[in-house]
A = this chain, B = another copy of it.
Amino acid sequence: MKLSNGVEWGLHCCVTLSQAQGPLPAQILAELHGIPAAYLAKHLQALSRAGVVRSSQGQDGGYSLASPASEITVLDVVAAIDGPGELFRCAEIRTRGPLAVPPEKCSQRCSIARAFAAAEQLWREALSKVTIADLADGIDRDSSGTALGEVREWLSSH
Task: Give the interface of A toward B (CB within 8 A).
Answer: 1-5, 7-9, 11-12, 31-35, 74, 82-83, 85-91, 93-94, 96-101, 105, 108, 110-112, 114-116, 118-120, 122-124, 126-127, 130, 134-135, 137-139, 141-143, 147, 150-151, 154
Contacts and interface: CB of A to CB of B under 8 A. Distances in A.
A26 B29 CA distance: 52
A5 B91 contact: yes
Given A87-B3, A127-B119, A111 B138 contact: yes
26 contacts: A1-B87, A2-B85, A2-B89, A3-B116, A8-B91, A8-B93, A9-B93, A32-B99, A33-B97, A34-B93, A35-B96, A74-B115, A74-B116, A98-B154, A99-B147, A99-B151, A99-B154, A101-B147, A111-B134, A111-B139, A114-B138, A115-B138, A119-B122, A119-B123, A119-B124, A123-B123
Contacts of A100: 34
B110 A118 contact: no
A91 to B, nearest CB: 6
Contacts of A4: 1
A9 to B, nearest CB: 7
Copies of this subunit: 2
B97 A142 contact: no
A81 to B, nearest CB: 10
A137 to B, nearest CB: 8
A61 B130 CA distance: 51
